[in-house]
Structure 1
């Protein structure tokens, strides 16, 4: 109802209804298929974050597959990393935090990234090496599986702003050297590599400033995620 200009409209009081009210009934919980349809997902797919969807139950046996997202200067693993058990080409050891969450994986001889991903319910396990700043995984390497998306992640193959003709090999060698120094807790070595080699390979002042501030603070956890 709309009141006329300059007039006040008062609703007439209604008598209390003393009759018993029927019990409220809850709407049926939507099925998984209905939830997926409402989310705009194709049938049989699940959302893994950042606008990405993957086939449900893939890798095999994984209800909520994990997914490695690498975008610009950020890295994140969404979904749930679950250990489905050692197998051929994925016989390494998982590392747990105090709450029992899988946060790392130590590579065994013969391990293959895609199979490690299948074991750990990571849909794109082929990205494990890139996530950990290496071209491929190697025995005794400790793979980080829980990067903090709020912490800068330095690209492995080349800076995002690299132009045509950029020399990738020297850059990757410097990144791997930074990673080894980070794992050893040797911040002074990292600062030396940065000043002598790596800094000149970046051209974006904002990126240079991010990395410089992290090296100045010397936080091993932050530097480890950035480079190893």
Structure 2
């Protein structure tokens, strides 16, 4: 991993996409969802500018337009709005499924909602963040980017989820404890360690929430 850790957008994992045609530009029947990613225009019904979750390296971003098309089976939760009325969160209801939430909210790769929120599965009453700030680092959920063969993924994920719960509770001391006791030794890139350490030292919950929650 490069030493420059400023989050840089990249095409998301977890969904099929088409590369642009060099000579003709945007392929017929496809729509640009940002960062060189193209998806079928009619894949998500009723969504003219589908949103897309991009995750790569130490960054996460949602491009496009999140639109609530209404509650339905397997996506009956509630949306949260900012002061301008934009959808920034979704509270999970019992029985909700990420792909159906994605269909409801015009998110092409809704299957990535759990990963975006640093968790393996979604659960009732969980508040999913839908507006990550691409200028703030996002710590990978499954393993550090520099992880080698045989990396212990489960302990890492448990630590990341613990960091997320503590961030949501505003408990920076617990986050520092998890970092020092278990998580820090799982990273090998000094620049990444320094970046996370500085965020914990400052206690900035906006940054820490983006990183881990």
Is TM more than 0.5 here?
yes
Query: In the alignment, which residue of structure 1 is the partner of 2:134?
Result: 149
Structure (1 or 2) with the larger CA radius of gyration: 1
Q: Shift of the alpha carbon at 1:58?
A: 2.6
Residue 175 (structure 2) pairs with residue 190 (structure 1): yes
1:166 counterpart SS class = coil
Query: Residue 39 and residue 82 in structure 1: after superposition, are their counterparts in 2 closer, same or farther (change >3 A)?
Result: farther
Query: Are 1:58 and 1:65, in contact at CA under 8 Å, matched by a contact in 2?
Result: no
Query: In the alignment, which residue of structure 1 is the partner of 2:26?
Result: 41
Residue 150 (structure 2) pairs with residue 165 (structure 1): yes
Any stretches of 5+ residues in structure 1 without a counterpart?
1-35
Q: Post-superposition, which runs of at least 4 consecutive aligned residues in structure 1 deviate over 4 A?
A: 36-39
Q: Return the alpha-carbon distance in structure 1 between the equivalents of residues 191 and 70 of structure 2.
A: 43
RMSD value, Cα: 1.3
Q: Shift of the alpha carbon at 1:40?
A: 1.0
Q: Shift of the alpha carbon at 1:38?
A: 8.2
Q: Return the alpha-carbon distance in structure 2 between the equivalents of residues 163 and 180 of structure 1.
A: 27
TM-score by length of 1: 0.83
2:115 counterpart SS class = helix
Q: Return the alpha-carbon distance in structure 1 between the equivalents of residues 191 and 105 of structure 2.
A: 35
Alignment counterpart, residue 219 of structure 1, candidates 193, 196, 204? 204
Q: Return the alpha-carbon distance in structure 2 between the equivalents of residues 38 and 213 of structure 1.
A: 46
- Listed as ranges, the matches of 1:41-190 within 5 Å are 41-190=26-175
Q: Return the alpha-carbon distance in structure 1 between the equivalents of residues 210 and 24 of structure 2.
A: 33
Q: Which moved more, 1:217-226 or 1:177-186?
A: 217-226
Cα deviation digits, residues 121-163 of structure 1 (max 9, x gap): 0000000000000001110000000000010000000000000
Q: Return the alpha-carbon distance in structure 2 between the equivalents of residues 81 and 38 of structure 1.
A: 31
Q: Shift of the alpha carbon at 1:41?
A: 1.3
Query: Residue 105 and residue 39 in structure 1: after superposition, are their counterparts in 2 closer, same or farther (change >3 A)?
Result: farther
Query: Are 1:94 and 1:106, in contact at CA under 8 Å, matched by a contact in 2?
Result: yes
